[in-house]
Amino acid sequence: SAQVQQQLALGSFTGLTAQEVVANITDAALSPTQVQTLVTTSLNNYSRSITASIMEEEPDDTLYWYIGPVDGRTRDICMRYVSIGKITQKEIQKLDNGQYSLTYGGGYNCRHKWEVAGKKSEFYKPKQATKFRKDKGLPDATVITKKED
């Protein structure tokens, strides 16, 4: 695990591609699929953490949407977030696992992230996500929020 973390850090700082980092880690006690999952997840989490840091500097009324593929591989939590539409960072933090999703998305191999609304994106598909969510019988994400302290 320490060797994998070292290779990830080295790859990040030296500008290696994900494939080069995977090649450097293959000697570890992980299968190639596990290494690929670890690298992909780490790189996506890093990207999301940068976005979350930038969000801290934005005005409170800045709107965000959850973007990424809407398909059969999309986790239920991500489907609910994608179907919400535009919300503020404070509203994101009130969602069930909202704060977690800012950095970690829906978990391992998550292909989604929060992004400033208004930028055109081929991955912004709230209507398609709402249809998937309803077809699966999932509740609206705005109904599932954290309890106030």
Q: How far is CA 109 from the centre of its chain?
A: 9
79 by Cβ neighbours in 10 Å (0-12 / 13-18 / 19+) ranks as: buried
- What confidence score (pLDDT) does residue 22 get? 80
pTM as predicted: 0.63
Per-block average pLDDT, block size 10, for the chain (149 residues)? Answer: 74 79 71 84 92 92 91 91 91 88 91 82 68 77 51
- What confidence score (pLDDT) does residue 124 get? 61
- What confidence score (pLDDT) does residue 45 get? 92
The amino acid occupying position 144 is I
Our CA dihedral for 21, 22, 23, 24, rounded to 10 degrees, sits at 50
